[in-house]
Structure 1
Amino acid sequence: MFLKCCIFLTAFSLLTGIYASDTPLKQLHIVFRHGERAPTETYKNDPHINFTWSGGWGQLTNRGKFEMYTLGLKLKEQYSGFIPDYYFPEDVKMRSSYADRCLMSAEALLAALFPPRDQQIWNENLLWQPIPIHYVPRSQDNLIAMKSACKKYDEELAQVLKSEKIQDIIAANSDLLHYLTEHAGQKFDSIGSVELLYNTLEIELLHNLTLPAWTRNVSLEDMKILAARSLEIYTETDFMKKMKGGMFLKEVISSLERTDKSPFLYLYAAHDLTLVNILRALGYKSMLKPGFGASLVFEMRNNSEVTMVYRDDFKSDPEQIALENCRPPCLFDNFKTVLEPFIPSDWEAECTQ
């Protein structure tokens, strides 16, 4: 992936092979992007506009199901000795975005983590067991989908979109936007519109669908850069970081303060934008477009040390990362102090101030 080389070069440091704690774990938080999905939408001149996607538009594909099951197996191996062989509801909490693709990804990952054993086997022909997945409607979710209405955030986002910085990017790519408008059959006048088109073309390529001839004159790599920039616009300012990724970090910190109580394994089925919002609130500055099955893990250890591990997609090797101002060993109190400016004290009140 073309962005991989620049990950975490500014606010984070890669620690693989440099530092690794062998102190036992006390709690895990794992937030992951869903597996491969069908396009959520298409463009007017798409030659595959009538293509039949198994499951439907925006839904998890069969390959996506396999990816999430594979990620579950990898996590089970990575944290063997901590993730138990038996599922007990008091030990595990699975939360998800409202989206079907996230709910289904959660189910596939849980199937890999907790196949029934011994007395938990209820059907000898199906080594699977139902595990509850918690979610709230999109309009009420400020934790995972991060789509709850926030007046002050929306006003700041509108100002960012009109800012000179973003307008300069649009101006610098005016030829591309004009070309896409001419050939795709609809207007392209923003970075976000390029992201949506790139996502559709990327998935069609993954399914061996032939792209129209006009796409040969377009650099998909350049479009991917714009798509990544589109994702980070939602956390362009410190306040925006606080109101998006900061709410998730507040939830993690609150749970890490209760390591003597269950549950000890927290799972979150989310979106690429969820991960970008969280990473940006952690201080990440370089562009990133997480792949299918990308994941970020927060580890709490017995010595009150917090470590973080990132995968760029379901097949990538995990890479340990660190906050710029909390070098390993990063103790929990220091972790909280560094992130305090990006943690909302009263999310709803701060949305209206």
Structure 2
Amino acid sequence: MRISFVILSCLHLMKIRAQQDEDRPSSNYFDGNPEPIYSLRLAHVLFRHGDRSPTHAYANDIYNETDWPQGFGQLSITGMQQEYQLGMFLRDRYMHCYGLEDLGIDCNGFLSPTYERNEMYVRSTSFDRTLMSVYNVLSALYPPQGSDLEEDNLTMPYLFNVWQPIPVHTMPIEEDCLLSTGSLCPLFIQEKAAFDVSPELNEIKNKFNELFKTVSQYTGEENSLNGTLQVIDPLYCQKVSNYPLPEWVTDDIFIELLELQEAHTEFWVPKDIAYLSGGPLVKQMMEHMTKMQAFQDDSLQHLFIYSAHDSTVVSLLQTLDLFNNKMPHYTACVLVELFDSDDGFFVQVSYRNETDSDPYILTIDGCDEMCPLDTFLRIYMSLQTLDIEKACAMNSSEQVHTSLVLPILNLILVIFILLAMILFVILILCMRNKSRDSVNYMPVPTEMTEIELR
């Protein structure tokens, strides 16, 4: 029943959107108003998945994985609807120039009305919730041509009247250096541990010390920052999904938990080491920009969509030094767009942190809202040559230590094996000599009595 409701809801939204498209006036730039100054040439879209179930339960949690429709960490019906709305926003922005016209930007023809593989590339982390999120976004970005779900239309060739398949690329979690946000980087993990004992974080621990005690008393988690953080996600998901909360979770305690989470967000990806987390993604974006600037070919892929997590959003914004230290909401979306004008190419970064809000422009330090591409590349110059595998290696002293220890251990092992082999050969020879002595020189008894005495 819930799936049927979702399908009918999506079809209703599609019908409304189709009617709006028909009623929508053409661009006013060609009706006597000034021509646009900029043309949209390239866009990168990174967003967080939608509403989900908790990723885990805490020690004394009154709910377990079986209490959630699809288990832990899975996209909810609400999350699907949120991502569908994000897809409609992207369709409006990149097919109809909504939100761009007022800025003097022309995006006419940026995206075709129907899917074209040469126009876009879609990437997701290898999690159910991010994959399902991007499928919902794409279903709204490129809705099917019809909306009739009768059985006859679900057979070839009418199937695609109700479903438009679009490829989504992904990588195994343990290999995804582009969107992994530092989890695969030993140096990032090592350096982040130093921030966990910083004076700033200690201030937070002191401020919420009484909260830690209360949470530990009722949840069975340790009386610490980490113990309390283990509790926040399950309680938040229960709250927004209208699950009754335990009696000890009063409104004041719940609000205080959210305040703690907000205060701690700043320490997810420390600014000084953010490049180890968000650097690969920024580097890829710059490569796309310089390629577009060099070839200026509209046949190049010019829309790149990344479906990921709140930590990925934080990593990107921290790397660009644009993070506001606020936890990204579900479907939070960062837009990194490239524009062309008579004065050259310009970059603009926008952030949409609310499902129903318009994005607001983020100003890069040392730039205007429209940042010249050359200036943008100069500001983030160090990332253009970033080799994440080398950068994530441990520090040089540890590398030297490792480079010395391993050969020494190997040498010791070889010597041990050689000594063992020599001892083994000596032992075999001794045993053979002893055997010969016993056979050649042992007196042979001549009487039965001699045999019995032995």
TM range (shorter): 0.7 to 0.9
Is contact 1:33-1:292 (8 Å) kept? yes
For 1:320 and 1:227, the matched residues in 2 are separated by 25
After superposition, the C-alpha distances for 1:209-247 in whole angstroms (9 at most, x for unaligned) are: 121121116433332232234333232242x11111222
For 1:296 and 1:132, the matched residues in 2 are separated by 21
**1:152 matched to which residue of 2?**
187
Quote how far apart the aligned CAs of 1:334 are.
0.6
For 1:328 and 1:287, the matched residues in 2 are separated by 20
The one of 182, 206, 224 equivalent to 1:171 is 206
**What is the Cα-based RMSD across aligned positions, in Å?**
2.2
Q: Structure 2 matches for 1:20-31, cutoff 5 A?
A: 23-31=38-46
**2:255 matched to which residue of 1?**
221
What is the letter of the counterpart of residue 204 of structure 1? Q
The one of 285, 291, 296 equivalent to 2:329 is 291
For 1:95 and 1:113, the matched residues in 2 are separated by 15
Is contact 1:32-1:296 (8 Å) kept? yes
**2:277 matched to which residue of 1?**
244
What is the letter of the counterpart of residue 105 of structure 1? S
**1:17 matched to which residue of 2?**
none
The one of 273, 284, 308 equivalent to 2:349 is 308
What is the letter of the counterpart of residue 88 of structure 1? E
For 1:143 and 1:27, the matched residues in 2 are separated by 19
**1:74 matched to which residue of 2?**
89
Is contact 1:195-1:230 (8 Å) kept? no
**1:256 matched to which residue of 2?**
289
**1:322 matched to which residue of 2?**
363
Secondary structure of residue in 2 paired with 1:235: coil
What is the letter of the counterpart of residue 119 of structure 2? D
For 1:92 and 1:237, the matched residues in 2 are separated by 31
Q: Structure 2 matches for 1:175-190, cutoff 5 A?
A: 175-190=210-225
Is contact 1:36-1:61 (8 Å) kept? yes
**1:334 matched to which residue of 2?**
375
Secondary structure of residue in 2 paired with 1:266: strand
With over 3 angstroms needed to count, the CA separation of the structure-2 counterparts of 1:157 and 1:222, relative to structure 1, is same
**2:67 matched to which residue of 1?**
52
With over 3 angstroms needed to count, the CA separation of the structure-2 counterparts of 1:89 and 1:50, relative to structure 1, is closer
Is contact 2:321-2:364 (8 Å) kept? yes
TM-score of the two chains, using structure 1 as the length reference: 0.86
**Is residue 104 of structure 1 aligned with residue 132 of structure 2?**
yes
With over 3 angstroms needed to count, the CA separation of the structure-2 counterparts of 1:228 and 1:273, relative to structure 1, is farther
For 1:242 and 1:204, the matched residues in 2 are separated by 34
Name the structure where helix makes up a greater proportion of residues: 2
Secondary structure of residue in 1 paired with 2:59: coil
What is the letter of the counterpart of residue 228 of structure 1? E
**Is residue 129 of structure 1 aligned with residue 129 of structure 2?**
no
**2:239 matched to which residue of 1?**
205
Quote how far apart the aligned CAs of 1:148 are.
4.9
After superposition, the C-alpha distances for 1:264-303 in whole angstroms (9 at most, x for unaligned) are: 1100001011111111111135321111111000111113
For 1:295 and 1:41, the matched residues in 2 are separated by 25
**2:77 matched to which residue of 1?**
62
The percent of aligned pairs where both chains have the same amino acid is 27
Secondary structure of residue in 2 paired with 1:176: helix
**2:267 matched to which residue of 1?**
233
Secondary structure of residue in 1 paired with 2:392: helix
After superposition, the C-alpha distances for 1:41-80 in whole angstroms (9 at most, x for unaligned) are: 1222222336532222110111111111111011101222
What is the letter of the counterpart of residue 248 of structure 1? L
Structure 1 unpaired stretches of 5+ = 1-20
**Is residue 91 of structure 1 aligned with residue 119 of structure 2?**
yes
Secondary structure of residue in 2 paired with 1:345: coil
What is the letter of the counterpart of residue 211 of structure 1? L
- Larger mean CA deviation between 69-78 and 343-352 belongs to 343-352
Secondary structure of residue in 1 paired with 2:378: helix
Quote how far apart the aligned CAs of 1:167 are.
2.7
**Is residue 281 of structure 1 aligned with residue 309 of structure 2?**
no
Is contact 2:51-2:78 (8 Å) kept? yes
For 1:126 and 1:54, the matched residues in 2 are separated by 30
The one of 14, 18, 41 equivalent to 2:56 is 41
- Larger mean CA deviation between 175-184 and 257-266 belongs to 257-266
- Larger mean CA deviation between 217-226 and 281-290 belongs to 217-226
Is contact 2:182-2:276 (8 Å) kept? no
